[in-house]
Amino acid sequence: LQLTLAIVKPDAVAHPLILEALHQKILENNFIVIRSRELVWKRQESERFYAEHAGRFFYQRLVEYMSSGPMQAYILARDDAISRWRELMGPTKVFRARYTSPSSMRALYGLTDTRNTTHGSDSVESAHREIAFFFPEFNVR
């Protein structure tokens, strides 16, 4: 089993039917939910989490959005959890997602390239780092 850190971003948590549909995706795709928590980021936490994007044109908009309201974070487990979850998310950009992966979560529910519904770790290293960020009491190794 592999672990990944998934986030349902504020735009999706704000809509109960979308949150429900995403939970359905998690279950249908045989992920095991190891941990789950709702939280609201302070702007500083948002900046720290997305530090790798500091300076990009969308950075301010991204950190503001990610600290704009409640989100839901999950530790998910499955074989190939990292790439399977990212496949379900679809491409970062909503219009690309709609074009290339019409049944992906971002294609179905994404509002803009920033408000794109979900996050998923992109490597084993970032999964470990992000799990520790959201669930400091959880021991990954």
- Binding residues for ligand ATP, rule: CB under 6 A, are 58, 62, 92, 113-114, 116, 119-120, 122
Chosen from Mg ion, ligand ATP, none, partner binding at 120 (C-beta under 5 to 8 Å by type): ligand ATP
* Rounded Cα distance, 109 and 131, in Å: 25
Question: Is 116 annotated as a binding-site member?
Answer: yes
- Please state the separation of Cα 124 from the chain's center in Å: 15
C-beta nearest to Mg ion: residue:
122
Which of 87, 122 has the CB closer to Mg ion?
Answer: 122
Comparison of 4 and 72: residue with beta carbon closer to Mg ion: 4
CB-based contact 132:5 (threshold 8 Å): no
Q: From residue 3, how far is each of 16, 18, 49, 75, 85 by CA, in Å?
A: 26, 23, 18, 7, 10
Binding site for Mg ion (CB under 5 A): 122
Strand ranges, E, within the chain: 2-8, 32-39, 71-78, 118-120
- Is 119 in the active site? yes
Task: Name which of Mg ion, ligand ATP, none residue 113 binds, using a CB cut-off of 5 to 8 Å depending on partner kind.
Answer: ligand ATP
Q: Is 9 annotated as a binding residue?
A: yes
User: Distance between CA atoms of 24 and 27, rounded to whole angstroms?
Assistant: 5
Instruction: Tell me which of Mg ion, ligand ATP, none is bound by residue 46, counting a contact when its beta carbon lies within the kind-specific cut-off of 5 to 8 angstroms.
Output: none
86 assigned ligand-binding residue: yes
Q: Is 92 annotated as a binding residue?
A: yes
Residues labelled catalytic: 119
